[in-house]
Structure 1
Amino acid sequence: MARTFFLIFLGIALICPANLFAAEELRMLVYEGYAPEKHLEVFKQIVKAKYGVEININVKNISDIEDIYKGLKNKEFDLITASNNLPNDPRYKYIQGKLTIPADLNNIPNFKDINPDLQKTPYFTDKGDVYGIPFCYGGYSLGYNTAYVKEAPPSWNVFWDPKYAGKYVLSSSFYDANINITALAMGIPKNKIYEYDAVASPEFLEKLKLLVKNTGAFYEAIDDADTLQGKSLAACWGFSFSELAKRGEIWKAAFPKEGTPGYVDGWLMSHTLADNPKLKRIAEEWLNYVIGPDFQTEQVVRTLGVFPVSFAIRDRLTPEETEAFHLNDPNFFKDNFVLWEILDKRTREGFKLFWKKAGR
């Protein structure tokens, strides 16, 4: 009897395509919300229909940026997300250290729809090859509660207006971003705010101390509705705005004249895919999916509430969404954001010391 079943199984295997029985595993290390289950299920069906492959996807969220380097070095992940200031950081060398591999843009047709200012940038490319596929951007923005602040504040100096003392919120984890906005408020040039020497003055420290002293509350890494509710202002990412709206508070982001410290988040492929062309091709299919109209509209805009990179979604958005995310202004990104830069050790340590002296 066992021999009969074996022969039947062997016969089926011989007449069916080999990949019918193939199963692949794709391992992702991501910032929370960047690979939601709903979209993973859609993607699995795309892979099955296009490649005849059952794909298992294991997702782990990043808890510390050191997780990315360790995960790449130990070959634990096939796809990672990272902000623009990390791939070329000399501490990690994702690209120069060959921990990541370049993408084949022929396999990522949606790349053409990305904002041209984000397509081939120095932070995600090397020698003409594209390693990082940007899929969203945002900033440590000046958020304001429209119930208490009727007009968008034109300057970061609003945080030092005595009438808002105790009525604003900051991040406690991103102390360097608080240093950046203080530098911008002091009039330090945009191209200098990530340099220690530009802010190393008693006047700067006094201004930073006042910012900390008058803070009404701190959230840790990501702004949350409980902390912002009832406040007037916040330096924040905007992730809490949708929940605040459900609670009856309409918050918006202002874009002050000095600029906004910003980031671009992208997906990169691990060196684990270098010798696995089949899985690499599936990984590139995912890269194409996350910059496609469905993911950009439903996840980036309507769930995460951050800026999409694709201009191809304008006809899917409401007029209010198009206005809020400035998709009719091709220069909005480069005109308003001061992207995070790689900090040398002296600057990192100096910023930490400033934050400690400011009372945190």
Structure 2
Amino acid sequence: MNTPALFSSYQIKNVTLPNRIVMSPMCMYSATGLDGKVTDFHFVHYTSRAVGQVGLIMVEATAVLPQGRISDRDLGIWNDEHIEGLRRIVNGVHQYGSKAAIQLAHAGRKAELDGTIYAPSAIPFNEDMKVPTEMSKEDIEETINAFKEGAVRAKAAGFDIIEIHAAHGYLINEFLSPLTNQRTDEYGGNEEKRYQFLKEVIQEVKTVWDGPLFVRISASEYAENGTSIETFITYAKWMKEQGIDLIDCSSGGVVPAPIHTFPGYQVRFAERIKMESEIATGAVGLITSGLQAEEIVQNGRADVIFLGRELLRDPYWPRLAANELGFTLKAPAQYETGW
């Protein structure tokens, strides 16, 4: 039979994914102590999904600064001591034929840490969380440079792809949203100024990284006066002009808001951005079956499928999807008798 679209290869610059299945970045809160270093758990967790034939393994949100962690158990990439552990993950993933990516992140006002936390404006996420300090120009410059240095370390660790985390209400997303960015300087006040922080992060990262570069977005905030899909169609066009290769289309998390979820509820965001901004996209959110994923890719609604909880439940989900589609997925040599 013909190869299903889900199991076709995908070329992004100099990187070829063996299929369109991507392990979505998901925080494991399992770093050692307070130092943000990789543990044995991380190695097993990520490598096992490569054994399961996931095409691209994306390491969880990895903080570019200590105060940019969501929690003190987050992975970090703020100093060179983090490179060795991350390289171990990359080597394990590559050993089983998958490609490796990392999501560079800063939690902004959603950091649950001791000490000062930072945001574009001094607005807490909710009444139970800490009031952040509004970032000075020096804070902004330091953070943009930290994303650049994170990219340098990601390259040293051997990652194939970098994703910039601009979703789920974390720092970059906070700059993009009028609900969280009430600045009146060059980093706030209208759409173009709210985009400036992400624009500068992309510019600086690209001075040290020439491989595939993704951005994860929250395409809707599900809140009155927040950003909408129309806003992100514009932003996606600007990102394409800056050389971004793919937009990873999630939603929510900027402010507390109810979200009506259903199978594939975010696919429409990926589809509209792909068609109207003419940029590659990834679809994510309650995609659970091979048939569902195949329909999305085959009909050109998105280029790749990001899976989260399904890959937590089953590291070998690609095998289930292949069986559902009547496709024979080659087994790892060690598993051939039971595949």
Please give the TM-score of this superposition, normalised by the length of structure 2. Answer: 0.27
Structure with the bigger percentage of helix: 1
Please give the TM-score of this superposition, normalised by the length of structure 1. Answer: 0.25
